[in-house]
Structure 1
Amino acid sequence: MASIVAKDFKKLWPEHSQIIDKNLQALRVTFLEVVRDQQTFVLDNDIDTVVLLSPTLEDFASGNQLFVDETIYEPELEWSDEQKRSIQEKFTDDDSLWLLTDKKPSTTLTSMVPKARILVVDPLTRWGSQGIDSDFPFERWTISALDNTSK
């Protein structure tokens, strides 16, 4: 998409073609660095199996070749006691399982799943809702475990 926008910009401002190309290249490099950092985090923490709490994270899971053990897309307030017990048991029984969510985890959720295995990922679909840092526009996609004490 950035290439398409750059091409359109060069049609509008051909005199700035070199600057547009330079900015496009810088954007590509920055994007690749963010992807590399995400993949490094996933690999360093041996994340390979996840429970997804949002359909917006399916692309993230697929892009990082993560096995989706379960998807729970209903709002947390609608979870039955049995579902809550099942989630807690699942995370107690499997030390390698991670929870992926696109929202700040509630106290209830953090009581069921260790914070060190909760990964909050900001999905692309809400990019503009929190504004964009012009110095580091991809900062919102820097990932870490909820409690930052992972490997």
Structure 2
Amino acid sequence: MALKQQLTDDMKAAMKSGQKERLGVIRLINAAIKQKEVDERVELDDAAVLAVLEKMVKQRRDSVSQYEAAAREDLAAVERAEIAVIEAYLPAKLGEAEIRAAIDAAIAQTGATGPADMGRLMGVLKPALAGQADMGQVSALVKQRLAG
């Protein structure tokens, strides 16, 4: 459990160095991971931890857009700071060309031919690209590829 261990080590380092904001975000991450483990009665592997982190980033991005719409820049700034801390634990994002290559490989693997095969294709791509690509973007590229 390399990612969970890294979070624990970073939490200890943040405590020692007095980084209260970073410590708070890492504690939120650990709480979300622990909640998921308790709910599902399993110990999460790195892929599942990445899924939790992605969900947290998505929630905070939604909050930022809502805060900006309500002219609450102070709250949006807090959410952006949390996003920065959480994204430090996510792998580097893939470029569009790399995503297209992964889609082509998945099409070859599954034999997908049209829009009806999108669910099967996304089922292969989601675990392969977890944490490395925005699944909304992947879905749009898959639709585009299967349509034309």
Same structural fold, with TM-score higher than 0.5 when normalized by the shorter chain: no
Greater share of residues in helix: 2
Greater share of residues in strand: 1
Q: Which has the larger radius of gyration?
A: 1
TM-score range, shorter chain: under 0.3
